[in-house]
Amino acid sequence: MHWLLEPGLFTNDSVRTAFLLGAMVSLVSAVVGVFTVLRAQSFAGHALTDVAMAGGAGASLAGVAPLLGFLGGGVLGAGAMDAIGVLRVKGRDIATGVVLGAATGLAALFLFLVASSSAATGSTQLILFGSVFTVEASTLPYVAGLSALVLTALVFIRRPLLLSSLSSELAAVRGVRLRWVGGAFMIMLAVSVGLSSIVIGSILSTALLIGPPASALKMSSHVTKAVSIAVGLGIAATWLGIVFAYDSYYWLPAHRGLPVSFFVVFVVVIEFSFANLAYRFHARRVAPTTSARVNVEPVGGR
Amino acid sequence: MFSSFMTNAWLSGTVIALLVGAVGFFVVLRGSAFAAHAIPNGAFAGAAGANLVGINPLFGLVAFALAAAFGIGTSSRRTRSDVSTALALVAMLALGAAFLATSTEYEPAVNALLFGEILGVSSSEIVPVLALAVLCGVGLIYLFRPLLYSSLSPELSRARGLNITRIETLFLIIVALASALAVPVVGALLTFSLTIGPPAAARLLSSRPGRALALSMLLSLLTLWVAIASSYAFNLPIGFFVGTLSAALYLFVRGWVVLRTRRSIAQSA
C-alpha cells in the first residue's frame, strides 16, 4: 500500500481536517445535487458557483473569511436569479447567464484588486480552484452546523420538493406553494455550493453537486437509493482526490503538488462514465422500450 | 488610447465582437447557453496547456475548444445534455487548474487568461485570428438558413429532410472557433457574457431574425468597444466591464421593453 498511501498521510493534521471537511461537504452536495439534477437545474447550480466566486473574491479583498463570502455571494445570487425568473422554464437559461456574467465580471474586478493591493499571491487559484489543505480546523464546526441545517431543512420539505420536481402541475394541484419550495431550494443550493467552494474551489463545486447525483440516478431511479449512492460516490471522489493530491507531491520531479480539485473532478468524471456505460448496457439488455428511461428523465427537462 | 500599440487591441476587438455577436444570436435562439458557457472554459485549459509545453497558445485554444465542443456534442446525444455539459465544463477547468499548478505561470498571466486582456492578441497572431474569424463568418452565412430553421422548429426541419445532428455539430464547431478567438481578449470566464448579453437584448428589441442579428452584432461591438476604452482608461481588467456592461445592457433593454408594452396596452385600452 505504500505506493498509494505516502508516509504521513494519516498523522498530518491538515489532512485529517481535509478528510472530515470533504466528507461533510460531499454529503450535503450529493443530497442537494440529486434534487438539482431531478429539477434539471444544473445550469442554475453552476451559475451559483460563479456568484459564490464573486463573494469569495470580495471576502478576500475585504479581509474576511472566504467561507463567509462564498455563502453571502451564493445566497444573494440565488435571490437575484429568483427575482429575474430562473424558476420559469422559458428563458431561464438567459436569466441565469446574465446573473452569472455580471457576477464573473465582479469577481474579475475583486481578484484584480486583491492581486494589485497585496503581496499575497495565489488568491485567484485559491478562490477558483480551492485548497482544502489550507482550511483551518476551527472552520469545521461552522461547516458541520451549516451542513446539518441544510440537511434538516431538506428532510422537512422533501415531499413537496420531490413532487414539484417531478411534476409542477401535479404539485400545484395538490396545494404545494411552488414559489416557496423553489425559493427555499435555491437557498439550500447556494449554501451547499458555498460549502463545497472551500474544498474544491468555487467554479469547480459544480462537479460535486452534479457528478455523483447524475451517476447515482443512472444506477437507481428510486430517490432514496439514489441519494445514498450519490453520497457514497461523492465521499469516495473527495477522499480519493485528497489522497492523490497528497501523493502527487512525490510524483513530479519538481515537487509541486497538483490541486485536490483536479483529482476530485477526475474521479467524479470517471464515476459518471462508468455509471453511464453500465446504464446503457443494462437498458439494452432489460428494456427494449423506453420505460426505463422515463423514471430518470425529469418532467420539464431540457 | 489610439496609439500604435493599441491598434491590435481595437482591430482584434472589433473582429471578435462582430463574430461573437453573430454566433451569440444563434446561441440565444437555440437555447444552447450552457454549451456556449462550457466551450470557452475548454479553451482556457488549452491555453494553459500550451503555455506549459511552450507552443503557440492559439493552437491550444483552438484544439481544446474543439475537443470540448465534440465532447458536449457526442455525449449530449446519449445522456441528458445539461448534466454532460456541466461535467465537461468542470473537467476542462480542472485540467486547466492542473496545468497551471505544474507550470511556473505567475498570477497576472492566469488572471489575463480567465478575465481577459485587451492586448491579448499579439501582432503575430492577428493574421491567423482574422483568417479564423473569416472562416467562421463564411460558415455562419452558409448555415444561416438551416440554423434558423432548425432552431425555430426542429420537428418541421427534420420533416423537410434537414440533418439536425450535422447542423448542430457544425454550429458547435463555429462556437468553438469563435470562443478560441475571444478567450485571449475577453477572458475564458467572460466570453460567455458577450455571447449571450447583447444577443439576448437584441432579440428583445426585434423579432425579425435579420434585424435581430444585425442589432446583436452592433450591440456586441458597442459593448466591447466601451469595455476596451474603459479598461484602458481605468486600468482595470476588461472582463469586469464586459460582464457588467452585458448584464446592464440586457436588464436595461428588458426594462424598456416591459415599459413600452405596458404603455401601448394602456393607450389601446
**pLDDT at residue number A91:** 63
**pLDDT at residue A302 tops 50:** no
Mean pLDDT of B168-183: 89
d(CA B212, CA B217): 9
**pLDDT at residue B55 tops 90:** no
Specify the range with the lowest mean pLDDT, choosing from A58-62, A261-265, B100-104. B100-104
Cell of residue A67, nine digits? 467561507
Mean pLDDT (chain B) is 85
Contact B83 A261 (CB under 8 A): no
**pLDDT at residue number A226:** 92
Q: Is B169 on the interface with A (CB under 8 A)?
A: no
Contact A46 B86 (CB under 8 A): yes
Specify the range with the lowest mean pLDDT, choosing from A202-211, B48-57, B210-219. B48-57
**pLDDT at residue number A254:** 61
B145-152, long-range: CB within 8 Å, 24+ apart, which pairs? Answer: B147/B26, B147/B30, B147/B171, B148/B26, B148/B29, B148/B209, B151/B26, B151/B29, B151/B30, B152/B29
Q: How far is CA A30 from the centre of its chain?
A: 8
| Cα A192–Cα A193–Cα A196 angle in degrees, nearest 5 | 85
The C-alpha of A8 sits at a distance from chain B's nearest C-alpha, in angstroms, of: 23
Mean pLDDT (chain A) is 81
**How much of chain B exceeds pLDDT 70, in percent?**
94
**pLDDT at residue number A1:** 47
The C-alpha of B135 sits at a distance from chain A's nearest C-alpha, in angstroms, of: 27
Residues of chain B neighbouring A261 (CB-CB closer than 8 A): 94, 97
Contact B85 A262 (CB under 8 A): no
| Cα B189–Cα A301–Cα A227 angle in degrees, nearest 5 | 85
Mean pLDDT of A173-183: 80
One-letter identity of residue B13: G
Cell of residue B28, nine digits? 440565444
Mean pLDDT of A257-286: 84
**pLDDT at residue number A196:** 87
Domains and CATH numbers, chain A: 13-296 (1.10.3470.10)
pLDDT (tens digit, 9 = 90+) per residue, A203-234? 788 889 999 999 999 888 888 899 999 999 99
The answer to whether A274 touches A216, Cβ cutoff 8 Å, is no
* Integer CA distances (angstroms), A113 to A62, A64, B108, B111, B236, in order: 10, 15, 11, 11, 8
Residues of chain A neighbouring B34 (CB-CB closer than 8 A): 42-43, 46, 93
**pLDDT at residue number A295:** 45
Total domains in chain B come to 1
d(CA B136, CA B118): 22
CATH of the domain at B149: 1.10.3470.10
The answer to whether A265 touches B90, Cβ cutoff 8 Å, is yes
d(CA A171, CA A161): 9
The answer to whether A267 touches A236, Cβ cutoff 8 Å, is yes
d(CA B109, CA B126): 20
Residues of chain A neighbouring B67 (CB-CB closer than 8 A): none
Domain with B155, as residue range(s), is 4-268
Closest CA to A219 of A158, A116, A148, A295: A295
Alpha-helical runs (H) found in B206-237: 209-234
Q: How does residue A271 score in pLDDT terms, banded at 50, 70 and 90?
A: very high
Specify the range with the lowest mean pLDDT, choosing from A112-116, B168-172, B248-252. A112-116
Contact A262 B111 (CB under 8 A): no
Residues of chain A neighbouring B93 (CB-CB closer than 8 A): 129, 203-204, 265
Q: How does residue A293 score in pLDDT terms, banded at 50, 70 and 90?
A: very low
Interface of A with B in 77-106 (CB under 8 A): 84, 93-94, 96-106
Mean pLDDT of B199-209: 89
**CA Rg value for chain B:** 19
**pLDDT at residue number A172:** 79
Contact B246 A98 (CB under 8 A): yes
pLDDT (tens digit, 9 = 90+) per residue, A274-291? 998 888 887 777 655 444
Q: For residue A298, give the DSSP letter.
A: P
- List the single residue in A with minimal CA-CA distance to B101: A258
The answer to whether B49 touches B60, Cβ cutoff 8 Å, is yes
Closest CA to B175 of B152, B203, B196, B202: B196
Mean pLDDT of A30-42: 89
d(CA B32, CA B179): 14
d(CA A49, CA A52): 5
d(CA A197, CA A44): 16
Residue of B33, B110, B243 lying closest to A94 (CB–CB): B33
- What is the secondary structure of B57-81 as a DSSP string? HHHHHHHHHHHHHHHHHHHHHHS-H
Residues of chain A neighbouring B197 (CB-CB closer than 8 A): 97-98, 101
Q: Is A169 on the interface with B (CB under 8 A)?
A: no
Alpha-helical runs (H) found in A174-222: 178-200, 205-219
**pLDDT at residue number A291:** 42
Cell of residue B103, nine digits? 507550470
Mean pLDDT of A55-66: 86
- What is the secondary structure of A216-245 as a DSSP string? HHHH--SHHHHHHHHHHHHHHHHHHHHHHH
pLDDT (tens digit, 9 = 90+) per residue, B59-90? 888 999 998 888 877 766 655 667 888 888 88
The C-alpha of B87 sits at a distance from chain A's nearest C-alpha, in angstroms, of: 6
**pLDDT at residue number A139:** 83
